Amino acid sequence: MLAFLLTLMLLLGIVIVLAYAERKVAAFMQDRMGPTEAGPYGSLQAVLDVLKLLQKEDIVPAAADKKLFKLAPILIFAAVFAGFAVIPFAPSIVPAGIGIGVFYLLAIISLDVVGLLMAGWGSNNKYAMLGAMRSVAQIVSYEIPAGLAILSAVMICQSLDFQEISYQQGALMNQFPGMEYDMNWLFGIRELGINTTTIGGITTWNIFRAPMLLVAFVIYFIASLAESNRAPFDIPEAESELVAGFHVEYSGFRFAVLFLAEYSMMVLVSLVAVVLFLGSWNTPLPNIGPVSLAYWTTGTVGELSGILWGVFWLLSKTFVLLFLQLQVRWTYPRLRVDQLMHLCWKVLTPIALGVVLLAGLWRLLMI
């Protein structure tokens, strides 16, 4: 219960910051000023937006399928929020440390699609229905390259446990029960003879342990944009043609929940990318001879210093990815439906399959 509340608070905090950052980043990239009135530099704008939404009337269209319409936002948010349960925030902190975390996450995120379809169908609105159909087609399609990219990371790490994957990507690897005698080699190739087990830092991140995971990371990042309905894959929302897509009929609190779920999804996919590819809560600084930067910036596992360093590194990497998501949104134009499907099925999926094959071969080299 405590983990639930703490995660919810953390998530709300991040989403508020993100919603504000989105407007400011967008404004700066377009040479505008963004919000300036509410609070210093408009920093209270996102909070005020939420307060405004909470005060608004809760409208349920007369012709809507009321049960589906009311249930959909809750289901969408619950599906996304449940994904946070398996994310390790620090060496000793994971809300629910289950052994098949990666599998659970993929499964629970897929539930999101059902919620989107419920919202689109329940609204009894053409735009909402079209938006939901597009959203479902897009998310289901992009789960394949995303899943394959995740699979290649899982094959390298030989684990479905997020915490175990995290430990493998740093100097603390030998402290994880069951990995006392495991070793990391530079680029994962034993024959090179450079042992990075105690060097840690960026050299043991998954994208360096197995260089083909860099490709997997790019594929996952592109696919995750599509899964969270972000530009340039935002045809489900496509303001200029579908008004707002599947949530066009929602207002007030229900819209706030959908908004929250959308931003939570962005945070979640970025967290997963960081955990699987970018060294999770591990520091990017390696130990260089007597200058043990990695240990200094890791803290002691289980104590407050370890928790703070872990959360700090995890969140700062996540925010870098979130910023990239924002920048991509304000840089690239929206893809057409056929371009979207072309990219998914004819480009990303074949490359992802190749990466999976290569990851399997690489794993043989690593032993």
Partner 1 sequence: MERTAVKHKTGFWDVVKSLGSGLSLTWSHFLKAGNRRTPEYVSDENYFKQKDGLVTLKYPYEAIPVPDNGRYRLHNEIDDCIVCDLCAKVCPVNCITIESVKATEDIGTTSDGTKKRLYAPTFDIDMAKCCYCGLCTTVCPTDCLTMTPVYDFSEVDIKNMVYHFTDLTPEQAEEKKQMFAKQQEEMAAAKAAALAARKSNK
Residue 320 engages partner 1 in binding (rule: CB under 8 A)? no
29 binds partner 1 (CB under 8 A): yes
The nearest distance, CB 337 to partner 1, in angstroms, is 19
Other Cβ atoms closer than 10 A to 144? 16
Question: In whole angstroms, what is the distance from residue 191 CA to residue 182 CA?
Answer: 16
36 binding partner 1? (CB under 8 A): yes
Binding positions for partner 1, 69-98, rule CB under 8 A:
none
- The answer to whether the bond into 95 is cis (omega within 30° of 0) is no
Task: Please tell me whether residue 175 binds partner 1 under the rule CB under 8 A.
Answer: no
What are the angstrom distances between the C-alpha of 106 and each of 46, 98, 308? 30, 14, 28
Q: Does 32 bind partner 1 (CB under 8 A)?
A: yes
- The residue range among 32-40, 115-123, 133-141, 156-164 that interacts with partner 1, by the rule CB under 8 A, is 32-40
Nearer to partner 1, 137 or 328 (CB): 328
Q: Of the candidates 187, 295, 312, 330, which one interacts with partner 1 according to CB under 8 A?
A: 330
| 332 contacts partner 1 (rule: CB under 8 A) | yes
Q: Which of 3, 106, 328, 341 binds partner 1 (CB under 8 A)?
A: 328
With contacts defined by CB under 8 A, name the span among 96-104, 171-179, 314-322, 327-335 that binds partner 1: 327-335
Query: How far is 263 from 148, CA to CA, in rounded Å?
Result: 24
Q: Which segment (97-105, 172-180, 199-207, 325-333) binds partner 1 by CB under 8 A?
A: 325-333
Strand partners, 358: none
Residue of 30, 158, 195, 300 interacting with partner 1 (CB under 8 A)? 30
The piece of 30-38, 63-71, 190-198, 242-250 that touches partner 1 (CB under 8 A) is: 30-38
Is the Cα torsion angle 249, 250, 251, 256 positive or negative in sign? negative
User: Of 17 and 365, which has the nearer Cβ to partner 1?
Assistant: 17
Over the range 118-137, which residues count as b (16 or more CB within 10 Å of their CB) and which as e?
bbbbbbbbebbbbbbbbbbb
Stretch binding partner 1 (CB under 8 A), from 90-98, 201-209, 245-253, 324-332: 324-332
Out of 31, 57, 180, 338, the residue judged to bind partner 1 by CB under 8 A: 31
- Our CB check for partner 1 shows the closer of 25 and 248 to be 25
The answer to whether 356 contacts partner 1 (rule: CB under 8 A) is no
Q: Is 338 in the site for partner 1 (CB under 8 A)?
A: no
Burial zone of 110 (CB within 10 Å; 0-12 exposed, 13-18 middle, 19+ buried): middle
Least separation in angstroms between residue 231's CB and partner 1 is 12
- Between the CA of residue 66 and those of 79, 119, 254, 255, 260, what are the distances in Å? 20, 10, 13, 15, 21
CA distance 357 to 94: 31
- Distance from the first to the final alpha carbon of the chain: 41
Angstrom distance (rounded) from CA 165 to CA 102: 10
Where does this chain touch partner 1 (CB under 8 A) — which range of 114-122, 205-213, 328-336, 356-364?
Answer: 328-336
Q: Establish if 357 lies at the interface with partner 1 (CB under 8 A).
A: no
Q: Are 145 and 219 in contact (CB under 8 A)?
A: yes
User: At closest approach, how far in Å is the CB of 32 from partner 1?
Assistant: 5
Residue closest to 115 by CA, chosen among 174, 69, 50, 155: 69
Q: Which residue's CB is nearer to partner 1, number 30 or number 158?
A: 30
For Cα atoms 7, 217, 27, give the angle at the middle one, nearest 5 degrees: 65
Binding site for partner 1 (CB under 8 A): 25, 27-33, 36, 327-328, 330-332
